[in-house]
Amino acid sequence: MPPQKKELTFEAAFQKLEETVRRLEAGGLTLEESLALYEEGTRLAHLCGQRLEEAKLRITQLELGLGQGASSE
């Protein structure tokens, strides 16, 4: 099942987290902005960690009508 519309994908959350860290590293922010980024980053990190913990590999097999009964390795 694809991630729900409102929820970020792992990729989006992960990249947003790294972007958040970069912005904090770049500096030039007010304390208020930094604290907001910190909260956001922490939330994203938890989200990513949770996604990895809960992940379960999905496997789909296409029906091509070609490999059927073929003696293949």
Partner 1 sequence: MAVYLVSQITTYLRGVLESDPLLGDLWVQGEISNLSRPSSGHQYFILKDADAQLKSVRFRQHRFGLEPLDGQEVLAHGRISLYEARGDLQLYVDFLQPAGVGAQRAEFELLKARLEAEGLFEETRKRPLPLFPQRIGVVTSPSGAVFHDIVRVVERRYPLAELVLAPTPVQGERAAPGIVAALQALHHLEGIDVIIVARGGGSWEELAPFNDETVARAIFGSHIPVVTGVGHETDFTIADFVADRRAPTPSAAAELVVPDQRELKARLEEGQRALRQLTLELITASRSHLRLAQAHLMSQQPDLSRRRQRLGELLHQAGESLRSQLALRGERLSSHGRQLAALSPTQTLGRGYALVQAGATGQAITQVSQAVRGEAIAITVSDGSFPAEVTG
Instruction: Point out which residues bind partner 1 (CB under 8 A).
Output: 9-11, 14, 17-18, 20-21, 24-25, 29, 31, 34-35, 37-38, 41-42, 45, 48-49, 51-52, 55-62, 64, 66-67, 70-73
Residue number, 6 or 66, with CB nearest to partner 1? 66
- Return the structure tokens found at 4: 């729900």
CB-based burial, 45-68: b 16+ in 10 Å, e otherwise: eebbeebeeeeeeeeeeeeeeeee
Residue number, 2 or 6, with CB nearest to partner 1? 2
